[in-house]
Amino acid sequence: MSIENINHRIERLFALQRATRVARKQEGAEIRGAKLARLKDAIVARIPQIEQALYEDLRKAPNGGKGGEIASVLGEIGTAIAYLEHWMAPKPVAQSSYLPNTAAHIQYEPRGVVLLLGAWNFPFALVMAPLVAIIAAGNSAIIKPNELQPATSTVIAELINAVFEEQDVAVVEGGIEVAESLQELPFDHVFFTGSPAVGKRVMAAAARHLSTVTLELGGKCPAILDNAYDLNEAAAKVVGGRFNNAGQLCLSVDHVWVPRALHEEFCQLLTGTIEKMFYVNGELSLERLPRIVNTRNFERVLGYIEDACQRGAQVLRGGQSERESLTIHPTLLTNVPLDARIMQEEIFGPLLPVLAYDSLDEVLTQIDSTGKPLGMYIFSHDQAFVDQVLLGTSSGGVTINHVMMHFVEKNLPFGGVNGSGMGRYHGHAGFLELSNARSVLIQQSA
C-alpha cells in the first residue's frame, strides 16, 4: 500500500475513533471486560502462531505460552477483568471544613483516542500489555507495531482485526514514515516504548497537540553487591537478568558493581553460570540465546567491545560473534574505564561490565552521572546499605536481592523517571495512567 493510501486510512481511522469517543465513554465495566475477555481468548487460541512469529523475528524459543511475553499479557488481562468494576467506581473524597453542605468524588473517564507505538525487543507484550490498560480505561487505540519485527506485526494485525471493530482498536503497519504520519494527528494520548532518543521525538510531536504521553524508555540499570551477599546466588540472578533476550531488555542488568576484594571470585562464578545457562558441551546453544535484532545493532554492540578494549578493558569470557545469525556470545568485561562508550550508553546487548569498587559513594556518584535508570538491583541483607543506595540514587523502580521482579508484580506501578521515561502502568496504575481523574463537587441544599 502506498504511503498516500496509508495516510488516507490513518485519517479515516482517527476520525472514526474520535467520532465514537462519547459512546465508548458510556460503556460500563461489563462491556470493557467483555472486550478484554475476547482479547484473551484470541491470544490463547493463537499461542502457536504468536510464538512462531517471535521465533522468526528474534529467535525466542517457544514455551507454549507458559512464560515470557504471552504469559505476561494474559496476567494483565486477568488482573484488569477481576478489578475493573472497582477501578471504575467513583472515589469519594473528604470535604473541606470551609465548604459545608458539599459532597465530592473523583470520576475516572477515558483520555480518548490513543496512539500506541510498539517496541521491537518484546514486540508482542509491549503492544498488548499497554493495550489492556487502554481498553480497561475506556479508550480507543490506533496501534503501530514495530516494523523491525514483521512476523509479529502481522500476527498482531490479524489478531486485532479478529477481535475489535476499527472504531475501538485498529492496526496500521509500516515504518518510520507511518509513525511520523500518525504523530501529525491530535491524539488525546500517546503511549511509546523505545529508546530515549526516539522518545524525545515522540514527546516533541505530542507537544504540538498538547497530547499527554506515556514514555517507557530505559537507561543503565546497575546491580550493586555488598560484601556479605551470597555470591553464587547473586551470580545466577545477575546472569539471568543480563542475558535474558540477549540483553535486549530495558530492565536488563546493564553493569554490576562488586566490592574489590570479591571481584575475582565473582567473575569466576559469573563465567561458570554463563557456561551452564547457555552452552552445551562447550558450544553455544542458539535455542537459549535470542539473536540481535538487526545488523546495525549487531555492529553497535560489537563496537562497545572494541572501544572498551582499546581503552584498556579485558574480555574475561565471550566476545565471539556470528554475523550470519546475528549472534553475539554472552560476554563479560573487566577493568572497563568509566569513560568508555559501554559505560556511557545503554548497552542493549549481551555484554556485562563487572566493576570493582572500594567505596559505595563512588558507585552512587557514577550512577548519578549517567542519568536515572529504569531499574536498580541491590544485593544486600544490610538495611543500612540498602538505605544508603536508595537515598543516594533515583530510578524508576528497584528490586532488592533479585532482578526485574518489580516489573513482574502487577500491583506495583511500572515506569521510568526523566531520561528513563514518564508515566506508570501495569494493573491499577495502567488504568489510572490511561484515565482522566475528573474532580466532581456537588453543592447540596442547606
Listed in sequence order, the residues at least 6 apart from 230 whose beta carbon sits closer than 8 Å to its beta carbon are none
CB-CB contact of 375 with 404 (8 Å): yes
Report residue 36 as a C-alpha cell: 478484554
| Strand-pair category, 435-443 with 102-110 | antiparallel
Three-state secondary-structure class, residue 299: helix
Report residue 179 as a C-alpha cell: 509513525
Residue burial 362-397, b: 16+ Cβ < 10 Å; e: rest: ebbebbeebbbbbbbbbbbeeeebbebbeeebebbb
- Please confirm, yes or no, whether 216 is among the known catalytic residues: yes
Give how far the C-alpha of residue 378 lies from the chain's centroid of Cα atoms, to the nearest Å.
Answer: 20
Q: Give dist(CA 269, CA 236) in Å, integer.
A: 8
Residue corresponding to grid cell 489478531: 159
Report residue 381 as a C-alpha cell: 541483607
Listed in sequence order, the residues at least 6 apart from 276 whose beta carbon sits closer than 8 Å to its beta carbon are none
- Selecting among 69, 250, 267, 346, the annotated active-site residue is 250
Neighbours of 20 (CB within 10 A): 16
Q: Give dist(CA 148, CA 376) in Å, integer.
A: 28
Q: Give dist(CA 252, CA 221) in Å, integer.
A: 7
Residue corresponding to grid cell 558493581: 257
CB-CB contact of 217 with 421 (8 Å): yes
| Strand-pair category, 189-193 with 212-216 | parallel
- Selecting among 216, 221, 267, 433, the annotated active-site residue is 216
Tell me the HSE value of 238 on the side-chain side, using a 13 A CA sphere. Answer: 33
- Please confirm, yes or no, whether 250 is among the known catalytic residues: yes
Q: Give dist(CA 136, CA 76) in Å, integer.
A: 10
Give how far the C-alpha of residue 62 lies from the chain's centroid of Cα atoms, to the nearest Å.
Answer: 20
Residue corresponding to grid cell 490479524: 158
Active site residues: 216, 250
